[in-house]
């Protein structure tokens, strides 16, 4: 897993659980104290353990934590990677080009086999995602957070989800007037 997610998860933990939130998460997840470097790779199991620990400490379903985390990281990632975006792009333009943008961000990353298919139809972007990581909630939250940060409104309809035993997640992203 890309270290930037761990770095952002630390900020999320402190925001939601207080100044000792990160330490509480590491302890609850059974992970040692360490510094996650943004451009290093770490075992997927560590982020899975941290999300499960966050869900327990917040008393929420892991899926809701993933969506909230996605919304939380959107402003930070938008600031960090704005250079990869055209100034006139809308949220739909960014989602449409997500695969290319992700490749630019994680140049040396070795993601698990995944299948991200994105298709644009005027004011709608259709996203089909399949990955053993099952982080669709982060993507949904990120799209919502990105829209809020850009002063736009979107609706994300999820037609099927791997968390509900579907083979893939199928999303429809609509830009609202």
CA angle at 134 for the pair 123 and 93, rounded to the nearest 5°: 20
User: What is the pLDDT, as a whole number, of residue 31?
Assistant: 96
Q: What is the pLDDT of residue 107?
A: 57
Q: Are residues 69 and 150 in the same domain?
A: yes
CB proximity list for 1: less than 8 A, separation 6 or greater: 41, 42, 43, 44, 46, 47, 133
Average pLDDT value over all residues in the chain: 91
Is the pLDDT assigned to residue 53 strictly greater than 90?
yes
User: 154 and 75, same structural domain?
Assistant: yes
pLDDT(102) > 90:
no
Same domain, yes or no: 72 and 158: yes
- Name which of 25-29, 104-108, 167-171, 173-177 the model is least confident about: 104-108
Which pTM does this prediction carry?
0.91
CATH code for the domain of 149: 3.90.1520.10
> Residues 58-80: pLDDT tens digits?
999 999 999 999 999 999 999 98
Q: Show which of 15, 35, 60 is a domain's final residue.
A: 60
Q: Are residues 100 and 50 in the same domain?
A: no
Strands (E) in 13-163, as ranges, are: 115-121, 124-130, 153-160
For residues 150 and 132, state if they share a domain.
Answer: yes
Interval 18-42: pLDDT, tens: 999 999 999 999 999 988 998 888 9
Region 114-119 average pLDDT:
84
87 and 28, same structural domain?
no
Residues 11 and 45 in one domain: yes
Q: Give the 3-state secondary structure of 1-19.
A: CEHHHHHHHHHHHHHHHCC
**What pLDDT score does 122 carry?**
84
Which residue, of 60, 82, 106, is where some domain finishes?
A: 60
| Structure confidence at residue 98 (pLDDT) | 87
Separation of alpha carbons 170 and 127, rounded Å: 6
Residue 112, pLDDT above cutoff 80: no
Whether residues 52 and 73 fall in one domain: no
Residue 115 pLDDT: 81
What's the total number of domains in the chain? 2
CA dihedral angle for residue 106, residue 50, residue 59, residue 18, rounded to 10 degrees = -90
Q: Do 43 and 106 lie in a common domain? A: no
Question: What is the residue range of 10's domain?
Answer: 3-60
């Amino acid at each position: 897993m890309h270290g930037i997610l761990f770095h952002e998860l630390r900020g999320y933990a402190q925001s939601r659980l207080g100044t000792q939130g990160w330490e509480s998460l590491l302890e609850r997840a059974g992970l040692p104290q360490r510094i996650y470097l943004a451009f290093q790779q770490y075992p997927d199991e560590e982020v899975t353990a941290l999300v499960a620990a966050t869900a327990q400490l917040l008393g929420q379903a892991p899926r809701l934590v993933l969506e909230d985390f996605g919304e939380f990281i959107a402003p930070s990632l938008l600031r960090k990677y704005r250079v990869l975006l055209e100034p006139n792009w809308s949220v739909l333009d960014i989602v449409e080009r997500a695969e290319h943008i992700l490749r630019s961000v994680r140049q040396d990353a070795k993601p698990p086999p995944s299948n991200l298919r994105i298709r644009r139809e005027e004011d709608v972007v259709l996203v089909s995602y399949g990955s053993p990581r099952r982080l669709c909630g982060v993507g949904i939250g990120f799209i919502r957070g990105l829209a809020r940060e850009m002063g736009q409104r979107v609706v994300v309809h999820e037609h099927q989800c791997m968390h509900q035993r579907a083979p893939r997640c199928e999303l429809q992203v609509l830009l609202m007037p």
